[in-house]
Chain A
Amino acid sequence: DAGVIQSPRHEVTEMGQEVTLRCKPISGHDYLFWYRQTMMRGLELLIYFNNNVPIDDSGMPEDRFSAKMPNASFSTLKIQPSEPRDSAVYFCASSLAGTSGMNEQFFGPGTRLTVL
């Protein structure tokens, strides 16, 4: 398996522009997570999906952020309009619920976003 795939790996944009990050989870996994990592705030959970349905979006910073999962193999995180403080590494992770309900999350390589 190729693992979790994210694109682009690097994104540089100007303030006010729309940014779309993409993620392909591991085939067969039923959970998908979006995280943001900065030096100041560490690794923060933004939103996660179960079977393509958003379960918890309490970590989404504000209305400028939105996430979708139209099917089991694709998800997007969109920022519109982007601001310099959105600069961070954005990780996508996926997992498969085990019989105990606990599961290992596999992370993608991340997208490094820089907003100028």
Chain B
Amino acid sequence: QKEVEQNSGPLSVPEGAIASLNCTYSDRGSQSFFWYRQYSGKSPELIMFIYSNGDKEDGRFTAQLNKASQYVSLLIRDSQPSDSATYLCAVNLRDSSASKIIFGSGTRLSIRP
């Protein structure tokens, strides 16, 4: 079992709709969770992080964490064509230092006009 798993996609969503991206992780003791966005040919950039169970909202983005079920999700409201990118879920594993995070393989999101 991979430490961090994501559906590779592509996930196609119409413009203006809600895009929902999911991620599961294997280490029940994981403490911190991150969502990075990577445009084609570019480097990853952090868009959200979450530590506590529940929802965390930042503009059109909402991160949701459920530690009991070991999943974290990212919702993008009012999807725009500029949201088309690969979204990488990353998890800080319990047995690693606070700074080491493991990335999932990413989900490709395509917003169709």
Contacts and interface: CB of A to CB of B under 8 A. Distances in A.
A43 B103 CA distance: 6
- The A interface, classified by DSSP as helix, strand, loop or mixed, is strand
Contact of B101 (A97, A105, A110): A105
Contacts, number: 52
A50 B104 contact: no
B44 A107 contact: yes
Most A Cβ at <10 Å: residue of B42, B51, B101, B103: B101
Contacts of B97: 50, 55-56
Contact of B99 (A31, A42, A44, A108): A31
Contact of B44 (A43, A45, A101): A43
Interface of A: 31, 42-45, 48, 50, 55-56, 91, 95, 97, 100-105, 107-110
Contacts of A108: 43
A95 B99 contact: yes
21 contacts: A31-B99, A43-B44, A43-B88, A44-B103, A45-B100, A45-B101, A48-B99, A55-B99, A91-B44, A95-B99, A100-B98, A101-B98, A102-B31, A102-B49, A102-B98, A103-B98, A103-B99, A104-B46, A105-B46, A105-B101, A107-B44
Given A45-B101, A107-B45, 19 more contacts: A31-B99, A43-B44, A43-B103, A43-B106, A44-B103, A45-B100, A45-B102, A48-B100, A55-B99, A56-B96, A56-B100, A97-B99, A101-B99, A102-B49, A102-B98, A105-B46, A107-B44, A109-B43, A110-B43
Contact of A102 (B45, B92, B102, B105): B92
Contacts of B22: none
A59 B100 CA distance: 11
Contacts of A107: 43-45
